[in-house]
Chains A and B, each alone.
Chain A
Amino acid sequence: AQSVTQLDSQVPVFEEAPVELRCNYSSSVSVYLFWYVQYPNQGLQLLLKYLSGSTLVESINGFEAEFNKSQTSFHLRKPSVHISDTAEYFCAVSSSASKIIFGSGTRLSIRP
């Protein structure tokens, strides 16, 4: 069975500081990995995804995540955050033969 763990339930950072949101997964088969973002009072939007190929994937708003098979991780990073990045972030894992499983979420709060 697959599982995904988001190690931090809340991450407070100052504006323009770097941030890393951690995500680890367990699976016995090849995986697909995703990060979703949920802004206050909105639904979930896909931020970025790893299906195959390059292990480093990027979003249009400056986030990136790297698939690390040996460490079974898919951490999300941004070198400089903005107030508008305040949101909840969900990591998710699936495979070619299983449903998508979501982590418990990390609330990113940005301080001016």
Chain B
Amino acid sequence: NAGVTQTPKFRILKIGQSMTLQCTQDMNHNYMYWYRQDPGMGLKLIYYSVGAGITDKGEVPNGYNVSRSTTEDFPLRLELAAPSQTSVYFCASSYTGQGGTEAFFGQGTRLTVV
């Protein structure tokens, strides 16, 4: 199983540029998440989704957008990149229901905005 696949692994953006971080899972999980992790800090939830067509804000949604058109895919869009968005981004998925699972994480995307 591929699990959770994130692309790209690394990216450098200029201030004001936009980009989409891709995330795909093949486990038929209902929940998907986007986190950011700044150096020496914990995880901050950006957005999450409870299923296709349903998304909700986390702790730090400003400057980001998401969509969930299918169960498998949960892309994160950065519009007008700012230096404050320099971080490592993790996508995750989980099954929430009877007999729920843990969260499975992608390998992360290291983003630098210059």
Stretch in B14-22, B65-73, B79-87, B95-103 touching the partner: B95-103
- List chain B residues, Cβ under 8 A from A45: 105
Q: Which residues of A contact B (CB under 8 A)?
A: 32, 34, 43-46, 49, 51, 88, 90, 92, 94-100, 102-105
For chain B, the count of residues having a C-beta within 8 Å of the partner chain is 23
What CA separation (Å) do A72 and B109 show in the bound complex?
A: 34
B96 and A94: CB pair below 8 A? yes
Provided the pairs A99-B48, A99-B50 are in contact, do residues A51 and B99 lie with their beta carbons within 8 angstroms? yes
What CA separation (Å) do A43 and B9 show in the bound complex?
A: 12
Q: Which residues of B contact A (CB under 8 A)?
A: 31, 33, 41-43, 45, 48, 50, 90, 92, 94, 96-100, 102-108
- List chain A residues, Cβ under 8 A from B42: 88, 90, 102-105
Closest 9 CB pairs of A and B: A105-B42, A104-B42, A44-B105, A100-B103, A43-B108, A46-B102, A102-B43, A34-B102, A43-B105
- List chain B residues, Cβ under 8 A from A103: 42
Return 20 A-B CB contacts under 8 Å, by A number.
A34-B102, A44-B43, A44-B105, A45-B105, A51-B99, A90-B42, A94-B96, A94-B100, A96-B98, A99-B33, A99-B50, A99-B94, A100-B96, A100-B102, A102-B43, A102-B45, A103-B42, A104-B42, A105-B42, A105-B43
What CA separation (Å) do A99 and B107 show in the bound complex?
A: 20
